[in-house]
Chains A and B, each alone.
Chain A
Amino acid sequence: MNDAPQSPPSRLDPEAIPRRDFLGRSALWSTAATLAFAAIGMARLPRAAVVSSPSRKFRVRIPETLPDGEPFLPSGRSVALFRDSQGVWAVSLVCTHLGCIVKAQQRGFECPCHGSRFTSSGVVEKGPAPAPLVWHKVTFEGDECIVDEDARVPAGTKVRA
Chain B
Amino acid sequence: MTTATPPKPALRRFVENLRDAPRRVRDSALRSGKANTDRTRSTFVFDNVFLHVHPVRTHRWSLRWSSTWGLGIASLAAFGVTLVTGVLLMFYYKPHPSAAYDSIKDIVYVVPTGRFIRNIHRWAANVMVVTVLLHMARVFFTASYRAPREFNWLTGMALLAVTLGLSFTGYLLPWDQLAYWAITIGANIAQSPREVTDALGVTPSFDPGGLQKFLLLGSDVVGEEALIRFYLLHVMILPMALAALLAVHFWRIRKDGGLARPADVDQRVIDDTEATYPVFTQAPRKTYQIAALVRGRTAAVGRAPENTLPSMPHLFYAELAAAMLTVAVCVGLALLSDAPLKELANPAVPENPAKAPWYFLGLQELVSYSAFMGGIGIPAIVMVGLSLIPYLDRETAGTGEWFGGPGGGRVVAQAALVGLGAALAVEIFAIRFGWLREWIPDVAQLWITLFNPGTVLAAIYAAYSVWLVRRYDSTRTGALGLFTCFLCGFVLLTVVGTHFRGPNWHFYWSPADWPAH
Contact = CB atoms under 8 A, between A and B. Distances in A.
Binding partners A and B: yes
Interface of A: 10-15, 17, 24, 27, 31, 34, 41-42, 44-52
B516 to A, nearest CB: 35
B106 interface: yes
Interface residues of B, number: 31
16 contacts: A10-B38, A11-B278, A12-B285, A13-B37, A14-B37, A14-B38, A14-B310, A31-B324, A34-B327, A41-B113, A42-B84, A42-B88, A44-B112, A49-B110, A49-B111, A52-B106
- Across the A-B interface, give the 4 residue pairs with the lowest CB-CB distance, nearest first: A44-B112, A12-B38, A49-B110, A41-B113
- Classify the secondary structure of A's interface with B: loop
Nearest to A31: B324
B58 to A, nearest CB: 13
Contact of A52 (B102, B277, B317): B102
A48 B37 contact: no
A113 B410 CA distance: 82
A11 B277 contact: yes
A44 B282 contact: no
B281 A45 contact: no
B36 interface: yes
Contacts of A10: 38, 282
Interface string B15-55: 00000000000000000000011100100000000000000
A17 B44 CA distance: 15
Contacts of B91: 45-46
B353 interface: no
B318 to A, nearest CB: 12
Contact of A48 (B112, B278, B281, B324): B112
Contacts of A12: 38, 279, 282, 285
Which of A24, A27, A48, A50 has the most C-beta atoms of chain B within 10 angstroms of its own C-beta?
A48
B37 A49 contact: no
A45 B282 contact: no
A41 B84 CA distance: 12
A42 B111 CA distance: 11
A15 B327 CA distance: 31
Contact of A13 (B38, B84, B324, B327): B38
A17 B316 CA distance: 15
B469 to A, nearest CB: 47
A158 B324 CA distance: 61
Nearest to B114: A45
Contacts of A51: 106
Nearest to A17: B36
Nearest to B84: A42
B262 interface: no
A45 B117 contact: yes
B66 to A, nearest CB: 21
A47 B112 contact: yes
Given A42-B88, A45-B111, 12 more contacts: A11-B277, A11-B279, A12-B279, A14-B37, A15-B275, A34-B327, A45-B88, A45-B91, A45-B113, A47-B112, A48-B92, A48-B106
Contacts of B279: 11-12
A14 B110 contact: no
Contacts of A24: 313, 317
B117 A42 contact: yes
Contact of B110 (A13, A17, A41, A50): A50
A52 B109 CA distance: 12
Interface in B274-289: 275, 277-279, 281-282, 285
Nearest to A52: B106
A110 to B, nearest CB: 37
A61 B277 CA distance: 89
B277 A15 contact: yes
A47 B114 CA distance: 10
A11 B113 contact: no
A12 B114 CA distance: 51
Contacts of B110: 48-50
B320 interface: yes
Nearest to B112: A44
Given A11-B282, A31-B324, A42 B113 contact: yes
Nearest to B286: A12
Interface in B67-114: 84, 88, 91-92, 102, 106, 110-114
B281 A11 contact: yes
A102 to B, nearest CB: 32
B176 to A, nearest CB: 18
Interface string B254-267: 00000000000000
A31 B320 contact: yes
Contacts of A45: 88, 91, 111-114, 117
Nearest to B87: A42
